[in-house]
Amino acid sequence: MKLVIAADHGGYNIKEAIKAALATQGHEVADLGTDNGVDSVDYPVFAKALCAEIKEGRAELGILCCGTGIGMSMVANKQRGIRAAVLSDTFSAEMTRRHNNANVLCLGGRVVSEAEAVELALLFVATPFEGGRHERRVAMMED
């Protein structure tokens, strides 16, 4: 699967852990930065770039990481065609794909550990959209 990942300085460490785990599973992962966890950067720049990759069809799913995941999700959800979910538990990671067809996962490097972030990302990527009755609801979000 073609994936895209990006982070600000607060999410850099979990971004790196997630990227490595996804690559070992054979996913193609485009990393849009940031390149370190020290220099302060503006998360909206990275969120908008990641969403553009999905909207333009160069990636199927995306993962955004910042300190809490909240800022990234707020920016992402303002982009037409993006359904971003910020979460920190496995049930939500699965259900946001199954029922909401989320195409962007947002995680907080100050909220979840690297191991938890990897677990959530792998589950998010592996879970398919159920379709059926959920298709109508997802379509309503796009109106």
Tell me whether residue 112 is exposed, middle or buried, using C-beta atoms within 10 angstroms of its C-beta: 0 to 12, 13 to 18, 19 or more. buried
Residue 27 catalytic? no
Q: What is the C-alpha separation between 112 and 51, in angstroms, rounded?
A: 23
Query: Which residue of the set 65, 99, 106, 134 is catalytic?
Result: 99
Element (H, E) at 63: strand 61-66
Clarify whether 134 is annotated catalytic.
no
State the residue for tokens 């966890």: 37
Catalytic residue among 51, 66, 106, 134: 66
Catalogue the active-site residues: 66, 99
